[in-house]
Amino acid sequence: MHIIEVQSGHRKKVTISLAEPKDFKLLTRKRYSFTWKSLEKSATTYKLFIEGEDDILGVMALIDHPEEKRIEIKLLANSVENKGKGKKYDRIAGCLIAYAGRLSKAKYGDYACISLVPKTELIQHYIKKYCMVNAGWQLYLEGKRLNNILNKYF
């Protein structure tokens, strides 16, 4: 799995792992748009970082819904310097979405599904960039669309 340094076009290998208790002190609202510590008990939080480095570039909180064979992306954020036109790295959110998909596939096989409830201004972005399906108040990926994301980012 890799991200791309926008300015140079170089690929950087990344790792996604569980956020550790000490990470929540670094996951500030100023840098990651949310108060991540508030989700520590209700969701499982993952961090994305460049292999061999400590800086967290992206973060995602997941909630498993086994009765629906679905993993919900409760929150997803790039660090502030990796958003918009002036971002340093590309593919951070895509890698995190694909990781959620991989977890869902590992647990639910052919029935795997991931979903999220996006901010209104991001709905079309998720549909266009990640081929997510609009299900009203949430977007989701399953089946072939989910496999396509896994193939693109892994």
Count: domains in the chain: 1
pTM score, whole prediction: 0.96
Phi, psi at 59, each rounded to 5°: -145, 150
- 26 in a structural domain: yes
Q: What is the maximum span of the chain, computed from C-alpha positions, in angstroms?
A: 45
- Please give the radius of gyration of the chain, using alpha carbons only, rounded to the nearest integer: 15
- 87 in a structural domain: yes
Range of the domain at 83: 2-112
- 25 in a structural domain: yes
- 50 in a structural domain: yes
Question: pLDDT tens-digit profile of 122-145?
Answer: 999 999 999 999 999 999 999 999
- 118 in a structural domain: no
User: Over its length of 154 residues, how does the chain's per-residue pLDDT go in tens digits?
Assistant: 999 999 999 999 999 999 999 999 999 999 999 989 889 889 999 999 999 999 999 999 999 999 999 999 999 999 999 999 999 999 999 999 999 999 999 999 999 999 999 988 899 999 999 999 999 999 999 999 999 999 999 9
- 80 in a structural domain: yes
